[in-house]
Amino acid sequence: MGSFLMPSSAFGMLLPQFPVVSLGRPRGQFHLVLGGSSNRKRKNLHTGNRQCGPRIIAASNRGNSNDAFTDDEDGFTSRRYEKSGKKKDDLTETRRALSEAKAREEALEKERDQLLEEFASSESNQEENVTAILHDKELAVSELELAKSQLHKKLQESVQEKSALESKLVHAKQDAVELAVQVEKIAEIAFQEATSHVLEDAKLRVSAAETLSAESAFQIEDQIRKSTEGTISSIIEESRDAIKEALDVAEHASVQATKAIAAFTDGLNPIDAIASVQSENIKLHGAFSDLEAQLLVSKSGFDRLKLELQQAQEQASAAELRAGNAEKALLAFQELSRQKALEQEEDIRSLLKNIKKEAEQRKKALSKAFNAELESIKAAVDAAKDTTHSRENAYMKRCEALQRSLRTSESALKMWRQRAEMAQSLLLKERSEKEDNEDDIYVVNGGRIDLLTDDNSEKWKLLTCGPRKEIPPWMARRIWSIRHEFPPRKANISKALNSKFKSLKLPKPDEVWSISQEKLREGDILVEHVMEKEVIEKKRKTLERALQQKTVQWQRTREETKLEPGTGTGREIVLQGFNWESWRRQWYQDLAQKAADLSQTGITAVWLPPPTESVAPQGYMPSDLYNLNSKYGSVEDLKSCIEEMHAHDLLALGDVVLNHRCAHKQSPNGIWNIFGGKLAWGPEAIVCDDPNFQGLGNPSSGDIFHAAPNVDHSQDFVRRDIKEWLNWLRNDIGYDGWRLDFVRGFSGTFVKEYIEASHPAFAIGEYWDSMAYEHGNLSYNQDAHRQRIVNWINATGGTSSAFDVTTKGILHSALHGQYWRLIDPQGKPTGVMGWWPSRACTFIENHDTGSTQGHWPFPRDKLAQGYAYILTHPGTPVIFYDHLYEFGMRDVITELIEARRRAGIHCRSSVKIYHANNEGYVARVGDTLVMKLGNFNWNPSKENQLDGSWQKFVDKGSDYQVWLRQ
Instruction: Give a yes or no: residue 430 inside a domain.
Output: yes
The domain of 76 spans 10-106+410-505
HEC string of 713-771 equals CCCHHHHHHHHHHHHHHHHHHCCCEEEECCHHHCCHHHHHHHHHHHCCCEEEECCCCCC
Contacts 24+ apart (CB under 8 A), 915-923: 915/819, 916/819, 916/820, 916/821, 916/822, 916/823, 917/819, 917/820, 918/817, 918/818, 918/819, 918/820, 919/819, 920/819, 921/814, 921/819, 921/822, 923/873
The answer to whether residues 27 and 48 belong to one domain is yes
Torsion of CA 838, 839, 842, 848, to 10 degrees: 170
Task: Look at residue 471 in the predicted model and tell me its pLDDT.
Answer: 63
Q: What are the two backbone dihedrals, phi and then psi, of residue 828, each rounded to the nearest 5 degrees?
A: -110, 165
Burial (CB count <10 Å: 0-12, 13-18, 19+), residue 788: middle
HEC string of 271-311 equals HHHHHHHHHHHHHHHHHHHHHHHHHHHHHHHHHHHHHHHHH
Task: Look at residue 71 in the predicted model and tell me its pLDDT.
Answer: 40
The answer to whether residues 315 and 212 belong to one domain is yes
Query: Final residue of a domain: which of 505, 533, 568?
Result: 505
Distance CA 71, CA 55 (A): 8
Q: Which amino acid is at 473?
A: P
Distance CA 48, CA 42 (A): 20
Helices within 593-631 (DSSP H only): 595-601
Distance CA 500, CA 61 (A): 13
The answer to whether residues 313 and 439 belong to one domain is no
Residue pair 20/32 in contact by the 8 Å Cβ criterion: yes
Nearest to 34 by CA among 407, 444, 329: 444
Instruction: Give a yes or no: residue 100 inside a domain.
Output: yes
Residue pair 806/848 in contact by the 8 Å Cβ criterion: no
Residue pair 1/34 in contact by the 8 Å Cβ criterion: no
The answer to whether residues 139 and 266 belong to one domain is yes
Torsion of CA 392, 396, 399, 400, to 10 degrees: -170
Is the whole model's pTM more than 0.85, yes or no?
no
Instruction: Give a yes or no: residue 520 inside a domain.
Output: no
Residue pair 892/864 in contact by the 8 Å Cβ criterion: yes
Task: Look at residue 424 in the predicted model and tell me its pLDDT.
Answer: 61
Sequence length of the chain is 966
Instruction: Give a yes or no: residue 150 inside a domain.
Output: yes
Instruction: Give a yes or no: residue 894 inside a domain.
Output: no
| Bridge partners, residue 710, by sequence | 660
CA dist list (Å): 536 to 289, 389, 942:
133, 15, 39
Nearest to 803 by CA among 744, 746, 862: 744
At 581-628, the pLDDT tens digits run: 999 999 999 999 999 999 999 999 999 999 999 999 999 999 999 999
Residue pair 812/791 in contact by the 8 Å Cβ criterion: no
Helices (H) and strands (E) in the chain, counts: 20, 22
CA-based radius of gyration for the chain: 58
Residues contacting residue 35 through CB under 8 Å, at least 6 positions apart: 2, 3, 81, 90, 93, 453
Reported as type and span, the H/E element at residue 152 is: helix 87-266
Distance CA 766, CA 834 (A): 18
Instruction: Give a yes or no: residue 646 inside a domain.
Output: no
The answer to whether residues 151 and 286 belong to one domain is yes
Could you tell me the strand order of the sheet in which 68-69 lies? 68-69, 56-59, 440-443
Distance CA 870, CA 876 (A): 8
Task: Look at residue 148 in the predicted model and tell me its pLDDT.
Answer: 72
At 31-86, the pLDDT tens digits run: 333 343 333 333 333 333 333 343 433 333 333 433 433 344 344 334 444 445 55
The answer to whether residues 136 and 245 belong to one domain is yes
Query: Final residue of a domain: which of 363, 392, 409?
Result: 409
In total, how many domains does the chain have?
A: 2
The answer to whether residues 263 and 129 belong to one domain is yes
Which is it for strands 43-44 and 79-80: parallel, antiparallel or unpaired? Answer: antiparallel
Residue pair 387/531 in contact by the 8 Å Cβ criterion: yes
CA-based torsion, 781, 786, 788, 791: positive or negative: negative
**Residue stretches of the chain with pLDDT short of 50:** 1-83, 264, 267-268, 430-455, 457, 463, 467-468, 484-491, 496, 501-504, 515-516, 520, 552-561
Instruction: Give a yes or no: residue 924 inside a domain.
Output: no
Distance CA 544, CA 538 (A): 10
Distance CA 35, CA 440 (A): 13
The answer to whether residues 202 and 303 belong to one domain is yes
- Per residue in 541-555, is it b (16+ CB within 10 Å) or e — as a string? ebbeebeeebeeeee
The answer to whether residues 313 and 448 belong to one domain is no
Query: DSSP character for 683?
Result: G
Instruction: Give a yes or no: residue 626 inside a domain.
Output: no
Distance CA 630, CA 681 (A): 22
The per-residue DSSP string of 315-344 comes to HHHHHHHHHHHHHHHHHHHHHHHHHHHHHH
The answer to whether residues 232 and 377 belong to one domain is yes
Residue pair 6/426 in contact by the 8 Å Cβ criterion: yes
Number of Cα atoms under 13 Å in the Cβ half of residue 63: 11
Residues contacting residue 725 through CB under 8 Å, at least 6 positions apart: 625, 626, 679
Distance CA 397, CA 403 (A): 10
Q: Which amino acid is at 376?
A: S
Query: Final residue of a domain: which of 409, 440, 462?
Result: 409
Residue pair 349/180 in contact by the 8 Å Cβ criterion: no
CA dist list (Å): 194 to 189, 197, 198:
8, 5, 6
Residue pair 922/932 in contact by the 8 Å Cβ criterion: yes
The answer to whether residues 355 and 462 belong to one domain is no
* Active site (catalytic) residues: 741, 766
Residue pair 582/632 in contact by the 8 Å Cβ criterion: yes
Residue pair 119/409 in contact by the 8 Å Cβ criterion: yes
Task: Look at residue 858 in the predicted model and tell me its pLDDT.
Answer: 95
CA dist list (Å): 325 to 196, 206, 328, 331, 338:
20, 10, 5, 10, 19
Residue pair 448/486 in contact by the 8 Å Cβ criterion: yes
The answer to whether residues 159 and 119 belong to one domain is yes
